[in-house]
Amino acid sequence: MAKKILVIEDDRDIRESIQYALEEGGYDVVASEDSKVLKQFEQIAPDMVLLDNWLTEWKSDANGQQISWNLKTNPATKHIPVVIISAVSNIKEIAEAGLADGFLRKPFDLDELLALVKKHVDK
């Protein structure tokens, strides 16, 4: 059974590129443009979350750092790897503050993305 990756990225081109690369890599992907998909988190049951830090809807307290922190401090979801994706220069600090398992700096190479996902879910 393929590992399931939840991708939350508001940029359609980036989201579709990530989805394509992961599906070609043999992963099952649920991709969303916003954090509303988290309402179905239990049903989706992802093996990993790839999360843009700066979501368009961030005004509603839905930035990647906060979402990651919420997932990592919840006993039911803390075991699921979370990687924050962003172009900001302080992405490492943002990921650490969100208790994320890692970060990926935009722009990124799709091979780099696949290697990172493999590192976290293909143990």
pLDDT digits (tens, 9 = 90+) for 26-55: 999 999 988 889 999 999 999 999 999 887
Q: How confident is the model at residue 58 (pLDDT cuts 50, 70, 90)?
A: very low
- Residue spans per domain, the chain: 4-121
Q: What's the CA gap between 64 and 52, in Å, rounded? A: 6
Per this entry, what is the length of the chain?
A: 123
pLDDT digits (tens, 9 = 90+) for 10-22: 899 999 999 999 9
Q: What's the CA gap between 83 and 86, in Å, rounded? A: 10
Tell me which CATH code domain 4-121 carries. 3.40.50.2300
Is residue 111's pLDDT more than 80? yes
Q: Tell me the percentage of the chain whose pLDDT exceeds 70.
A: 93
Is residue 110's pLDDT more than 50? yes
